Structure 1
Amino acid sequence: MIEDSINISQIIKEITVKPNSENYAFCWIKNKIKGIELNGVFYKDVSNSIFFLDPRHQWKVLKKDSSTSAGYILYLSKTVLNNPALSNLHINKVRLFNSGEIPLFKLSPGIEKRTQAILEMIDELAGSHLNHKEDAILSLLYTFFVYCDGQCNIKSVASNNNSKSNIVYKFKTLVDAHVLENHDVAYYAKLLNITPKYLNECVQEVLSVSSKSIVIEQLLMRSRHALKFSDKSIKEISFDLGFSSPDYFSYFFKTHTGITPSALRKG
């Protein structure tokens, strides 16, 4: 049964050590972490990251304190990963575990909240006796992997020397915090003490998209959410998002989505 091949636990202990099992581990680190030790090497600055850990690797997670949860560790057997419901995913086709490197995903701002919600639902279902819970867990795992494979997550490997990935992660964090105030890539480059050209080079190398597209992605995500789930007028939304006029907001939105804000709201 699927439920016998899945285990999930919150990172509560000050030190969480790999259990004696042959399951794969998906370690989502939220915050309040000193770092993670992989095969005897210590890595810090790993907040909002997901590590994909092969059973061959030895690991431990070190927390700053034991008062609150710092994320989740999801254990899956090979049987679950080979389930037909997950087999067509790109993230599973590349198999993540087929080399000596340890895959690491720095999550795009906003995605970590969705990741937490998915893992919380898996945790709740795993301990329940609900009908069809196995189908529901597989569906949530599928969604979890889809989010992990998102284009604007920073896909890397565990490394102590990955400066461009760190720059891109800091850039994305700054965009998430300040996009309502400023849409200009040069503004973020200045905050990072680098040139816009070098920032774009880093983003292109790490994500294969332009630095401007990161700003656009954030604006579109917030636009869709406001249009779908708020009662504010399109004019109010446009000013909330930092656009100079409702007309320019409508032009921006239609250019990048193919439909107008009003059409999305009616849909």
Structure 2
Amino acid sequence: MVSEKVKISPILDELSSCVNEEGYYHLCWIQDHVRYIEINNTQYHHVSNSVFFLTPDHRWTILKNDVGTSSGYVLYLPKSILNHPTFKNLHITQVRLFKSTDEIPKINLAPGIEKRVQSILEMLDELISTNLAHKEEAILSLLNTFFVYCDGKCNIKSVISDNNAKATLVYKFKKSIDQRFTQEHEVSHYANLLNVSSKYLNECVKDVLHTNAKNLIDEQLIMRSRHSLKFTDKSVKEICYELGFSAPDYFSYFLKKHTGMTPSQIRKS
């Protein structure tokens, strides 16, 4: 059973370091009270609510302030499990896209998603230490759900070579969306930022992700809209302007078009 080799540890101690077990990928999900994570002698600060995807070649240390309370989890995955058929459509082994020493694969989870990820990892932590029937299937299912949430943020569903210029451009585009989608909704803005034409950017997105560039922007807007409507007391007008829409009527039209529901219907669902 491949899942028997999966390990998970909460980040509890003041200093946590990688376990030097050959052939393991490390996924560090970091919550609050962490001063920094050091990866291959480089420190990364302001990392709350981040997921780092690290290969066996990485050496990392996490330094935190609040000893005794959990500041996230470290998930240890053997290389063999990443080839399991459950993950075949996600290409998890490609999550570290470019294998360059200066590009650490980090994603920031959207508000709301972090709670779901926390629940998934807590269930894994509990499940791994049990002898329940169908444990293998449950662990694989939880891992798949975790990667599905991460997949929309960082993963590219394609086998990527180090010199794949289109994949590199799409990766930069996705990172730019994460940083700017509440202010900029148009593909042309991101194309100008990346010094390419909108047509070429869209062509690259279609080739690599089998969707179009505007869908990636809209996906982030929909996710944030749904979270704000369901988990905050902000008015529709406040959420509208917070996400960069010009007017509440257009915000409502956007959500109705993409989800089939108005803001008030999403809030009640």
Does residue 103 of structure 1 match 2:105? no
Identity of aligned residues (%): 39
| Matched ranges for 1:1-267 at <5 A | 4-9=4-9, 12-13=16-17, 17-19=20-22, 25-28=24-27, 32-34=38-40, 50=53, 59-63=56-60, 67=63, 72-75=74-77, 89=86, 91-92=87-88, 103-104=94-95, 110=109, 113=114, 117=118, 120-121=121-122, 124-125=125-126, 134=135, 137=139, 139-147=141-149, 153-157=155-159, 159-267=161-269
3-state secondary structure, aligned to 1:28? strand
1:49 and 1:105 in contact (8 A); partners too: no
Post-superposition offset of 1:114: 6.7
Task: Flag the 1:132–1:170 CA change in 2: closer, same or farther, 3 A.
Answer: same
Task: Flag the 1:34–1:171 CA change in 2: closer, same or farther, 3 A.
Answer: farther
Q: TM-score, normalised by structure 2?
A: 0.65
Cα RMSD of the aligned pairs, angstroms, is 4.3
Which deviations, in whole Å up to 9, do the C-alpha atoms of 1:36-84 show, x marking residues without a partner? xxxxxxxxxxx95647x8xxxxx43233x563699734235979997xx
2:153 and 2:174 in contact (8 A); partners too: no
For 1:255, the aligned partner's letter is K
3-state secondary structure, aligned to 1:213? helix
Q: How many residues align?
A: 233
Post-superposition offset of 1:214: 0.8
Task: Flag the 1:257–1:3 CA change in 2: closer, same or farther, 3 A.
Answer: closer
3-state secondary structure, aligned to 1:27? strand
Task: Flag the 1:50–1:141 CA change in 2: closer, same or farther, 3 A.
Answer: same
Post-superposition offset of 1:33: 2.9
- Structure 1 alignment gaps of length 5 or more: 36-46, 54-58
For 1:175, the aligned partner's letter is I
What is the CA–CA distance in structure 1 between the aligned matches of 2:213 and 2:3, rounded to whole Å?
A: 42
For 1:168, the aligned partner's letter is V
What is the CA–CA distance in structure 2 between the aligned matches of 1:151 and 1:192, rounded to whole Å?
A: 19
Task: Flag the 1:259–1:162 CA change in 2: closer, same or farther, 3 A.
Answer: same
Bigger shift: residues 122-131 or 193-202: 122-131
Task: Flag the 1:72–1:166 CA change in 2: closer, same or farther, 3 A.
Answer: farther
Q: TM-score, normalised by structure 1?
A: 0.65
What is the CA–CA distance in structure 1 between the aligned matches of 2:157 and 2:96, rounded to whole Å?
A: 5
Post-superposition offset of 1:149: 5.5
Which deviations, in whole Å up to 9, do the C-alpha atoms of 1:110-140 show, x marking residues without a partner? 3795786367425642676798995864552
For 1:62, the aligned partner's letter is R
Post-superposition offset of 1:5: 4.2
Task: Flag the 1:33–1:167 CA change in 2: closer, same or farther, 3 A.
Answer: farther
What is the CA–CA distance in structure 1 between the aligned matches of 2:59 and 2:81, rounded to whole Å?
A: 29
2:25 and 2:53 in contact (8 A); partners too: yes
Bigger shift: residues 237-246 or 146-155: 146-155
What is the CA–CA distance in structure 2 between the aligned matches of 1:161 and 1:151, rounded to whole Å?
A: 22
Post-superposition offset of 1:156: 4.3
Post-superposition offset of 1:173: 1.7
Post-superposition offset of 1:224: 0.6
3-state secondary structure, aligned to 1:8? strand
